[in-house]
Amino acid sequence: MDLKALHKRHVLTPWVAQAGLNPPLMVRGEGVWLYDEEGHRYLDFSAGLVAVNLGHAHPRLVGAIAEQAARLAYAAPSFFHDRRALLAKALSDLAPWEEGARVFFTPSGTEANEDAVKFVRQLTGRFKVLAAYRSFHGATHASASLTGENRRWPAEPGTAPGVVHFFAPYPYRSPFFTEDPQEETRRALEHLERVLLHEDPSRV
């Protein structure tokens, strides 16, 4: 069976043009390495888009997942959950939060960004959100709107309102026309201040 042909026929691959798409077919991972169907090895510099920070097939992680799946695969957020409570306590012990702060779990960073925007808007009453160009915040509605790169363009003009973008320091191809990192930072902060004042700080 030609699995690559099967993939091309039935899977709509995200973030790429579909015509001419022909990436390697990955079949397993181990540590920092990915292996394709022909046995070629690839160094996974992105850690599976930051989803496998401990590496592929880490024995302790695989064991913990198998143990938990055998005991309780999922409990809706409306229920208390022993592991959820223990993890929240561990995170609270590590984080410099104020007394009484609690942990809000989300399925991914994208949903975390979506919820953060909703929480802050409800808490402050302010509507505008600043986000940097050359950034990626996720593929859902508000997160895609926060994203400051061309992957958000196809979704426009249906993007979430209230998002304002600014240029951050980027010495490789400076948007502020300087080769000095300190001057790059100074000009970036001046630019951010101007954007903030233009948008009215009381509304951001």
pLDDT for 156: 67
Q: State how far the Cα of 88 lies from the Cα of 75, in Å rounded to an integer.
A: 15
- For 174, phi and psi rounded to 5 degrees? -60, 125
168 contacts 134 by C-beta, under 8 angstroms = yes
49 contacts 56 by C-beta, under 8 angstroms = no
Taking only the tens of pLDDT, the chain with its 204 residues reads 899 999 999 999 987 888 889 999 999 999 999 999 999 999 999 999 889 999 999 999 999 999 999 999 999 999 999 999 999 999 999 988 888 889 999 999 999 999 999 999 999 999 999 999 999 998 888 888 898 887 667 666 667 889 999 999 999 999 999 999 999 999 999 999 999 999 999 999
Domain with CATH 3.90.1150.10 in the chain: 3-68
Which residue type is seen at 189? L
User: Is the full-model pTM beyond 0.75?
Assistant: yes
**Beta-bridge partner residues of 29:** 34
Q: In this structure, which topology does domain 3-68 adopt according to CATH?
A: Aspartate Aminotransferase, domain 1 (3.90.1150)
Beta carbons within 10 angstroms of residue 117's beta carbon: 22
Give the CA count within 13 Å in the CB-facing half-sphere of 153: 6
What stretches of 72-171 show up as alpha helix (H) in DSSP? Answer: 82-94, 109-124, 141-146
| Assigned token pair, 187 | 């000009």
